[in-house]
Amino acid sequence: MKIHVLGSAAGGGFPQWNCNCPNCSGYRTGSKRVTARTQSSITVSSDHENWVLFNASPDILQQIRSFPALQPARSLRDTAIKAIFLMDAQIDHTTGLYMLREHHLPLPLWCHPLVRDDLMNGNPLFKVLDHYCGIDWHEVLLSSEGFTVPSIPGLRFTALPLTSNAPPYSPHRDQPQAGDNVGVTITETASGKRIFYAPGLGQMEQHVWAAMQAADCVLVDGTLWTEGEMIALGASKKTSRAMGHMPQTGPDGMLEWLDKLPSSTRKVLIHINNTNPILDEDGPERRELKQRGIEVAHDGMEIDL
C-alpha cells in the first residue's frame, strides 16, 4: 500500500497568508530552516492506479499537480481519484471539493451523516455542487467490521469516532457528537498492513488507542506543540484541546502516547499548525521528536507499507 502525503499543514497552511509568528516570518525572511506546506490531505492506493483521497483541501489543485499519479491522462477528462473520504466538515478538509466541480460524474464521496448535514446546511457545499457535478454520497459507518469501496481494490476502511470539535457553522460546535470527526484504519487486504490516520484528534480514548496499537504506522494529529500555544502568541483565545487537537507535550499529550507504542510502529505527525515549533528543522523540538523516533510529515512524503 502506498500513502502519499498531499498536504501536511493544518488549516491556513504554512506560511499562513496573514501570519507573522516566528515560523511564518522566519520562512519569509529566510532566517529559519522551514519548509512550506499545503493544507492536510493524503491519498492512498494498493494497486498504484486507483486512489482514494482523504479530505479535499483548498490547495487540492496544487496538490494534484504535484503528484502525477493522480492524472493518468487516459482520456480527454480523467482522474485517478476514484473515491473521496471526508473525516470532518471543516473548511481545510472540504472546500477543495469546489475545485473538482468539472468532474464528468457526481463525485464519489464517503462521509458520516453528521458531516453531510453540516455540508448541506451550515456550509452548504453539497447543495452548491449540485449545480455542477453533484455528489454521489455514501455513508461512512462507524462499525468495527469496516467497509470496502468497489472502485478502490485491495483496501478496507474502518472508521472510528473521535472526540474533536465540529466546525463553527455546525449546530454541535463545542458539543462534539460521535461521527462529526472520524479517524480511519486503512488495511491492505493482501498484506494485512495497516495505517491509522487521524488529523484531528482531541482526546485519547480506549478505542482510538486500540486502533493505534494495531497499526503498522500512525499518521496522527500534530497541530500544536503546547496546550496554550495559540493563546501565548495572542493568535487565539482557545487552548489546543478546546480546538479539538491534543497537544504534543504535557500530561496526556501525544508524545506520551506515541512513546508507549512499540518501536516497530512508524509514528508520523500531520496537520501541523504554522505556529508549531516542530516546523523549525534546526530547533530543539524537532531534535526531541527525532530522539523519540517520531517523524514530521511533509508535502510529498511517501509511506510504503
Q: Give 41 or 45: the residue with its C-beta nearer to ligand MLT.
A: 41
Query: Residue 152 CA to chain centroid, in angstroms?
Result: 19
Residue 24 interacts, among Zn ion, Mn ion, ligand MLT, none and using kind-specific CB cut-offs from 5 to 8 Å, with Zn ion
Selected from 50, 57, 63, 90, the binder of ligand MLT by CB under 6 A is 90
Spell 179-193 as b/e; 16+ CB within 10 A means b. bbbbbbbbbbeeeeb
Which among 10-18, 50-58, 112-120, 144-152 is the span making contact with ligand MLT, rule CB under 6 A?
Answer: 10-18
Q: Give 24 or 125: the residue with its C-beta nearer to Zn ion.
A: 24
Look at the block and give the residue holding cell 468495527. 144
Q: Give 50 or 275: the residue with its C-beta nearer to Zn ion.
A: 275
Residue nearest to ligand MLT (CB): 11
DSSP-derived secondary structure letter, 40: P
Selected from 274, 283, 289, 303, the binder of Zn ion by CB under 5 A is 274
| 11 lines the binding site for Mn ion (CB under 5 A) | yes
Q: Give 8 or 90: the residue with its C-beta nearer to Mn ion.
A: 90
Selected from 69, 91, 204, 210, the binder of ligand MLT by CB under 6 A is 91
Joined together, the cell numbers standing for residue 176 give 462534539
Selected from 3, 8, 11, 126, the binder of ligand MLT by CB under 6 A is 11
Q: How far is the CB of 290 from Mn ion (least distance, A)?
A: 25
> Measured between alpha carbons, how far is 15 from 188 in angstroms, rounded to an integer?
35
User: Please, are residues 156 and 186 in contact by the beta-carbon 8 Å criterion?
Assistant: yes
Residue 244 interacts, among Zn ion, ligand MLT, Mn ion, none and using kind-specific CB cut-offs from 5 to 8 Å, with ligand MLT
Among residues 161, 155, 157, 110, which one has the least CA distance to residue 137? 110
Query: Residue 27 CA to chain centroid, in angstroms?
Result: 23
| 244 lines the binding site for Mn ion (CB under 5 A) | no
Selected from 5, 6, 21, 81, the binder of Zn ion by CB under 5 A is 21
| 92 lines the binding site for ligand MLT (CB under 6 A) | yes
Which among 15-23, 76-84, 88-96, 140-148 is the span making contact with ligand MLT, rule CB under 6 A?
Answer: 88-96
> Measured between alpha carbons, how far is 273 from 139 in angstroms, rounded to an integer?
30
**Ordered DSSP codes for 170-202:** STTTTS--TTSSEEEEEEETTT--EEEEES---
User: Please, are residues 253 and 222 in contact by the beta-carbon 8 Å criterion?
Assistant: no
Q: Give 182 or 296: the residue with its C-beta nearer to Zn ion.
A: 296
Q: Give 45 or 274: the residue with its C-beta nearer to Zn ion.
A: 274
Selected from 3, 24, 92, 186, the binder of Mn ion by CB under 5 A is 92
Q: For residue 26, how many other CB atoms are within 10 A of its CB?
A: 17
Among residues 195, 187, 199, 197, which one has the least CA distance to residue 216? 195
Chain positions contacting Zn ion, by CB under 5 A? 16, 19, 21, 24, 274
Chain positions contacting ligand MLT, by CB under 6 A? 10-12, 90-92, 200, 243-244
Chain positions contacting Mn ion, by CB under 5 A? 11, 90, 92
